[in-house]
A and B are shown apart, each in its own frame.
Chain A
């Protein structure tokens, strides 16, 4: 049976090397030459347009305040300046690709939406177009330069966005993993009565775990009644029902009477629709009913004082 592992859903294009990625984006050496040549013209303006970007950012009303303490701004500003110098150096190797992945990872870690990153890309593109328009070069030469810049920007954006979603997916999988691994506390709530409130998601691994714990506790306490409360279980499908049936059967074999409590009307209906025969297992809608049955079974009555 499959163990719960972090799936490899996210590891796609971002693991490709620089050469493969360049090919995928049809970026040629001639393109990179054009970007480099243009770099000589835009490089003196980088500081100014990066400044301009942070002025714009500071004016944004929404949730980027935490971005705005001075030390932080200074750091990201320096990084962005370096980003554009690297960009117009246009030396695209694996190290370069790694710097773009890093940006994706950082954004994902602090849950910063990619809007800001894209806005910075746009800001640069606008400035490039301004410089190109003022240029003396013939029109088609300028267009080729603009195309080369746009291709390289898309290249950057793809790597960053892909890494971003990869990290986000991993975080989500980690969260669901911890949901699966929630503990299974089997407790003796009374002499002879054991109870296990099941919460979360039951998968194959956890079902085995639960069965083992329950049987161990029955053996240890020699209890004669076991209440399994499933009101906190997210889904009862045929596989989960099958596990529950197996647990209750094993229970009986050890001379302990199983009771399943906490079947909501919707879940009860679903079990009926699936066609599952719960046989002679006693089921109740709530824990209170189950307790009554349990006391009855062990020969006790609860009376008011």
Chain B
């Protein structure tokens, strides 16, 4: 099987754009529909923007896999930033420590199939999700 997994360092807005366009190309290549692509890319954008905004840098990895439910996107974004003090609060609608909408994380959760957020203060944050082609 060919290796399709993409891994990229995220250090700037430009890196985010490059990663998102790779993601879109990957999903188009395996025939994801417009809504799944829009949801995946938007969710990815939220997580990567958070890395850039709150942690400064991190990395991302994504790939399309297949199980009994068919093809799905597996996406992971990791940073070694300050971590999130109260993940439950961070997941709540309209909570933001930076005065923006505070809809990123809860929005991602609504858009994808399997969202997990794990964070340790002073160690970093890892957010991952799956989204089935459906």
Q: Which of A149-201 contact B (CB under 8 A)?
A: 172-173, 176-177, 179-180, 201
Q: Determine the interface band of chain A, counting residues with CB < 8 A from chain B.
A: 20 to 34
- B93 close to A275 (CB less than 8 A): yes
* Partner-B contacts on A (CB < 8 A): 2, 4-9, 172-173, 176-177, 179-180, 201, 203-204, 234-239, 241-242, 264-267, 269-270, 273-276
Identity of the chain A residue whose Cβ is nearest the Cβ of B49 in the assembled complex:
A239
Those 4 A-B pairs whose CB atoms lie nearest each other, nearest first:
A274-B107, A266-B34, A266-B38, A237-B45
Give chain A nearest CB distance to B17 CB in angstroms.
5
Contact B42 A237 (CB under 8 A): yes
Q: Which residues of B contact A238 (CB under 8 A)?
A: 46, 100-101, 103-104, 107
Q: Are A270 and B18 in contact (CB under 8 A)?
A: no
B14 beta carbon closer than 8 Å to chain A: yes
CB pair A4–B12 under 8 Å, yes or no, is: yes
Given A2-B52, A5-B14, A238-B101, do A269 and B35 touch, yes or no (CB 8 Å)? Answer: yes
Partner of A204, one of B13, B39, B46, B103: B13
Contact flag A241-B20 (CB < 8 Å), given A7-B11, A235-B41: no
* Residue numbers in A under 8 Å from B66 (CB-CB): none
A235 lies within 8 A of B15 (CB)? no
A27 to B89, CA, bound (A): 54
Residues in B with CB closer than 8 Å to A180 are 14, 17
A270 touches B14 (CB 8 A): no
Among A4, A237, A270, point to the contact of B49 (Cβ < 8 A): A237
Add 10 more A-B contacts to A176-B21, A239-B49 (CB < 8 A). Answer: A4-B14, A5-B12, A5-B14, A7-B12, A9-B8, A172-B18, A234-B41, A238-B103, A266-B34, A274-B107
The reply to whether A273 and B111 form a contact with Cβ atoms under 8 Å apart is yes
